[in-house]
C-alpha cells in the first residue's frame, strides 16, 4: 500500500510516498530513502520501495528540496549538506507516525545520496543500519576526473562570475544536467548519464534537465567519504559497480576498506546506472532488502 506524504523540513515542505507492507502488522520498521544528483522519486525508487515493502518493511521515499514534488527555491539547486539534514527531518517525521517503529529506522541512498547516508550514518544514531549504493565519496576528486585539466581554470572563472552575478541580485546560472552531445557542457557528462535520464522522461515528467551552477561548486566542497570510519557500530552495506566512472569504483572501495565492522560489500558488474534496471536491479534491490531484513526485522 502506498500513500502520499508531506512534512515540514524547518520551513520547506518535502513530499513523497509512504509504502507500507500489506502482510505485516505495525508498527513497522522503516527505511528512509531519497534519490541522487537531481533525481526524483519516480526514477525507480518506487521499485526499490516495493521490494522492501514485500519483505515486511515500510519505506518513506521523498523528493529532495528544490526537486520534483517538494518545495524549495531556487529550483534545481543542490546543497549536499542540506540534503543530509533533510534525511534527518524525514527520520524525525517517520518517528512521529504511529504505524512506524521509531526504534527501527534504516537509511538507503544512491549516487549522491549514497554519499549522504554515509555522513548520516556517522552523525545520527537513530539510524540502525545503512545501505549506500554507488556512492559519491569525494566531490573534489570525482569532479576532477570528469573534466579535462585545461578546462578547470575556465570553470573556476564561471563559478566566480556566477557568484558576482548573484551578489548583484541576479538569478543563479543554470546548466544542463546531461547532454547528448559529448562536447557540450553539463553537470554529468557521458553517454551513460544521458541514456539513463533520457530513458526515464516518460515515467518521471517532474525531472528537469537543469541544475544550478552553484550546485556544481558545492559538489566540489563535499567529502562524505571522510565520515566512513565513524559509522560503526551501525551496520553498513555498500553496493559498488565495478566500472563506475561517475562515482569512481576505486574511491568507493577505498572508503569501504576504511569503514569498520559490521560491514558488507556487494561488488556488481557494470557502470554507475546499472543497479537501477534489469539484472542489476535484481542484485542491488535484493542485497538492500536482505541487509535491512537482517538488521531491522
- Cβ neighbour number for residue 252 with a 10 Å cutoff: 27
pLDDT tens by residue, 18-50: 999 997 688 999 999 999 999 999 999 999 999
pLDDT at 40: 98
pLDDT tens by residue, 50-103: 999 999 999 999 999 999 999 999 999 999 999 999 999 999 999 999 999 999
Which residue has 547528448 as its cell numbers?
Answer: 180
pLDDT at 183: 84
pLDDT at 79: 98
User: Can you tell me the distance from the alpha carbon of 224 to that of 141, in angstroms, rounded to the nearest whole number?
Assistant: 12
265, pLDDT greater than 80? yes
Q: How many domains does the chain have?
A: 1
Q: Confidence class of residue 287 from pLDDT cuts 50, 70 and 90?
A: very high
Please check whether residue 215 lies inside any domain of the structure. Answer: no
Domain ranges, residue 270:
2-140+223-296
Region 123-139: mean pLDDT is: 98
Question: Which residues are 59's β-sheet partners?
Answer: 19, 31
pLDDT at 224: 98
Please check whether residue 209 lies inside any domain of the structure. Answer: no
155, pLDDT greater than 80? no
148, pLDDT greater than 90? no
Please check whether residue 82 lies inside any domain of the structure. Answer: yes
Pairing type for strands 174-175 and 127-133 reads unpaired
Region 150-165: mean pLDDT is: 83
Please check whether residue 193 lies inside any domain of the structure. Answer: no
What percentage of the chain exceeds 90 in pLDDT?
89
Q: Confidence class of residue 110 from pLDDT cuts 50, 70 and 90?
A: very high
Please check whether residue 201 lies inside any domain of the structure. Answer: no
CA 32 from chain centre, in angstroms, equals: 11
Backbone angles phi, psi at 4, to 5 degrees: -75, 145
Answer yes or no: are the C-beta atoms of 27 and 101 closer than 8 Å.
yes
pLDDT tens by residue, 13-25: 999 999 999 976 8
Mean pLDDT of the residues in the chain: 95
171, pLDDT greater than 80? yes
> CATH number for the domain including 98?
3.40.50.1820
Please check whether residue 171 lies inside any domain of the structure. Answer: no
Please check whether residue 284 lies inside any domain of the structure. Answer: yes
45-77: burial string, b at 16+ Cβ within 10 Å, e else:
beebbebbbebbbbbbbbbbbbbbbbbbeeebb
Q: Confidence class of residue 114 from pLDDT cuts 50, 70 and 90?
A: very high
pTM of the model: 0.96
pLDDT at 156: 83
Please check whether residue 155 lies inside any domain of the structure. Answer: no
Amino acid at each position: 500500500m502506498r500513500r502520499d506524504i508531506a512534512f515540514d523540513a524547518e520551513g520547506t515542505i518535502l513530499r513523497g510516498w509512504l509504502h507500507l507492507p500489506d502482510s505485516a502488522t505495525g508498527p513497522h520498521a522503516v527505511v528512509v530513502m531519497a534519490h541522487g544528483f537531481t533525481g526524483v522519486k519516480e526514477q525507480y525508487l518506487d521499485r526499490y520501495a516495493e521490494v522492501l515493502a514485500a519483505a515486511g518493511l515500510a519505506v518513506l521515499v521523498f523528493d529532495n528540496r528544490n526537486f520534483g514534488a517538494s518545495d524549495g527555491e531556487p529550483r534545481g539547486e543542490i546543497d549536499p549538506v542540506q540534503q543530509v539534514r533533510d534525511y534527518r527531518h524525514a527520520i524525525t517525521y517517520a518517528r512521529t507516525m504511529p504505524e512506524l517503529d521509531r526504534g527501527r529506522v534504516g537509511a538507503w541512498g544512491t549516487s549522491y545520496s549514497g554519499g549522504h547516508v554515509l555522513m548520516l550514518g556517522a552523525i545520527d544514531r537513530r539510524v540502525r543500519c545503512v545501505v549506500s549504493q554507488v556512492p559519491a565519496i569525494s566531490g573534489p576528486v570525482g569532479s576532477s576526473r570528469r573534466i579535462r585539466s585545461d578546462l578547470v581554470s575556465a570553470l573556476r572563472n564561471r563559478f566566480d562570475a556566477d557568484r558576482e552575478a548573484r551578489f548583484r541580485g541576479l538569478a543563479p546560472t543554470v546548466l544542463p544536467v546531461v547532454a547528448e552531445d559529448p562536447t557540450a557542457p553539463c553537470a554529468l557528462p557521458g553517454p551513460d548519464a544521458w541514456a539513463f535520464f533520457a530513458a526515464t522522461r516518460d515515467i518521471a515528467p517532474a525531472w528537469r534537465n537543469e541544475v544550478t551552477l552553484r550546485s556544481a561548486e558545492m559538489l566540489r566542497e563535499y567529502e562524505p567519504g571522510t565520515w566512513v570510519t565513524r559509522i560503526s557500530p551501525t551496520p553498513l552495506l555498500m553496493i559498488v559497480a565495478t566500472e563506475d566512472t561517475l562515482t569512481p569504483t576505486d574511491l568507493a572501495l577505498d572508503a569501504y576498506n576504511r569503514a569498520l565492522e559490521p560491514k558488507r560489500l556487494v561488488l556488481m558488474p557494470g557502470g554507475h546506472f546499472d543497479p537501477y534496471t534489469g539484472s542489476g536491479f535484481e542484485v542491488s534491490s535484493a542485497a538492500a532488502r536482505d541487509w535491512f531484513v537482517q538488521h531491522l526485522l
